[in-house]
Structure 1
Amino acid sequence: METLQMLGFGQSGWGSTLLSAIAMTLVLTLVSLLVGALLGSLVAAAKLSRRLGLRWLGNGYLVLVRGIPELLVIYLFYFGGATLASALGHWFGKTGYVDLPPFWVGALAVGLLSGSYQAEVYRGAFLAIPRGQLEAALAIGMSPFTRFRRVLLPQVLSYSLPGLGNVWQMTLKDSSLISVIGLVELMRASLMAAGSTRQYFTFYIIGGIGYLLLTGLSGRVFNLAEARVSRTQQRTPIRY
């Protein structure tokens, strides 16, 4: 009975906090994935470029981001960013310490990490497209934008879907690291509930179950999307 009360939605229960934290985890993961998609697309384009400088820049991004611990990246963005913002504020006459919003800083930091893996997913998807299709589109006079919209983008998204499923799962679990900067997502809510009630085992298990549910359901969604895309590719030829 005591456990049910702690998990309830009353004044002394943590049910509402945990549900809100699950929603925050999903939103944070989604925003981070979108930030990573933008960065990953740019890095993939740089690595596929014929210009040596751009390829070096793309490789440098991957080496730097993957070589630094994820937690250190979050600390650099949040605490280092706040220090930089405070220094800029003092330059313009503002006194005191400038706090940065944990959600957006966390989404940017996790998105930076996610982008380093999405870049390789997009690059591999591009290389999987048959060269003959690109040559045919060029031969019939397609404009660059039309080639991108009708040939490149649909197939890159199709080939990258399995890899993006893995990146989503990784980003979902990396979102737990944002708890160190005070954002109340699932990990932070579990820590708060465990510390307040001294029921560490109970709430850590509940937090773990929450992550398992999120990863299991999202994995199912990606599997369904892959199956649908596979059927579409088999039935619908590419029209130029």
Structure 2
Amino acid sequence: MPMGAVAARDLAYGYGGAEMLGRFFMPEGQGERPGILVLHGAHGLDGFILSRAECLAGFGHAVLAVDLWGGRELISDPAAIGPRLGAFAGHRDMWMGRIEAARAALIAQPGVDNSRIGALGYCFGGTGVLEFARKGGALKGVVSFHGGLDMVEDDWSGQAGASVLVCTGAADPMARQEDRLRVEAGMSAANVAWETNLYGGAKHAFTEPDRPGQPPFAGFDARAERRSWAAMRKFFQDVLA
């Protein structure tokens, strides 16, 4: 639960003719706040993501829960997930452009310190924050919770100095060892300040409540969820200080 009082409101923004409807959370009180973007996974900007964003705001951050799909669309049909992810992976300028539009919307809000902006993402959102940092997104740091490392490209030479925390499960087929090592090598070659937390036995989507019809490669893991959340808190306390 949030530690302090938080005001919340919808925040509309757009990119390339698409209209997005994020949710902005701001702690009550005076002074500029560091900002955090929270990117959802394949299912869209649902109650789980909104609750995580509100909780982060309760710790003193200005938070924008990002609407990546547009129109606050939620995807419940598993058959629709693959084509949607493929459409974004196949049009990375659009994918990154929507994240940048969210960043611009966040830093335009009164009381947000635009020199201290981070991002975290879940599942496809975790992939997105890594790609955004890799491509030079103007962020201090990013955290990926069980992101698909198989979709993260190798060349980090265009990154702009963001620190990186990867929280991933050892039993996640979307983050196999070869992809994890490949991504880590790319970050090391570009002198990125990175760290990986690897949770033994944890599957994909280990932070999220189990859903009806969930695939066997995904599942909630209480220990990994608890430890990754604590690691994220410490990471942002450091890089957004």
**Structure with the bigger percentage of helix:** 1
Q: Whose relative contact order is higher, 1 or 2, with alpha carbons under 8 Å and at least 6 apart?
A: 1
TM tier relative to shorter chain: under 0.3
Structure label with greater radius of gyration: 1
Give me the TM-score of the superposition, normalised by structure 2.
0.26
Give me the TM-score of the superposition, normalised by structure 1.
0.26
